[in-house]
Amino acid sequence: MTADTPLAGRTALVTGGNQGIGAAVVAELARLGARVAVNHPDEDSRPTGLDQLPTSCLALRADVRDRRQVDRMFDQLTENFGPLDILVNNAGVFPRAPVLELDEDTWDLVLDTNLKGAFLCAQRAARLMAPRGFGRIVNIASTAAFTGSPRGAHYAASKAGLVALGKSMARALGGFGITVNTVAPGMTETAQPGLDAAGFAAEGARIPLGRVGLPVDVAQAVAFLVGPSGGYLTGQTISVNGGAVMVP
């Protein structure tokens, strides 16, 4: 481990690491020296460019809504990389729908993916981390957890649940040397329905720092929490949004 590679010797798993914020987290943790397993939900979403990352990475297919697939993913990770040190729960979906038109199947898809999936992965990870007395878990939520969303009641509810899950697990797991924190991005320049470059610029003009976030902004917050400097932070929510939402 050096100042340039503070995560050398650590093993990380990033769910939904095949695109957007997840892919940026993978790249940042790899840059800092970690071995990174990249979860993706199906064969069509298999990540590309793993050979371009600065350290070896492993693609692991699993639908995080399914405990059997989650268990198989963790078994594969352990077989290939050894003990797990870091889990980043990033897998999520957001099919927009007005609350009066939101159907039960869509509600279940979002809550099962965004919240249940995070719980299943965090529980399995914590069971592996606890005997070793060390672990770092970070859940990726959203500022929608605090503001709500007119076309995303299901999404906002799932992300608020992640915040509460993180606090609860932090209280339960601190005695095992495991920290659990949440990163809540605001508007971030990823694939967003109906938003092009001009749209992102207009959104950014309303933010105190004058721009929307980039995936790397979120990735750097995650890296801080799982690195040596974040060891005394647990049960916290860091909102990465340029000042658009200021949570007390």
Q: Is 232 a catalytic residue?
A: no
Sign of the alpha-carbon dihedral angle for 113, 95, 239, 23: positive
Distances (CA, A) of 135 to 110, 112, 138: 27, 24, 10
Identified catalytic residue from 155, 159, 180, 213: 155
For the purposes of burial, counting CB atoms within 10 Å of the CB of 4, is it exposed (0-12), middle (13-18) or buried (19 or more)?
Answer: exposed
Query: In sequence order, which residues have a C-beta less than 8 Å from that of residue 48 and are 6 or more positions away?
Result: none
Token representation of residue 75: 């078994």
Number of helices (H), then strands (E), belonging to the chain: the values are: 8, 7
Query: In sequence order, which residues have a C-beta less than 8 Å from that of residue 96 and are 6 or more positions away?
Result: 151, 152, 193
Beta bridge partners of 13: 37, 87
| Percent helix, strand and coil across the chain, each to the nearest 5 | 45, 15, 35
For residue 40, the 8-state DSSP code is E
Give the C-alpha separation, 56 to 32, whole Å.
Answer: 12
For residue 112, the 8-state DSSP code is I
Catalytic residues: 155
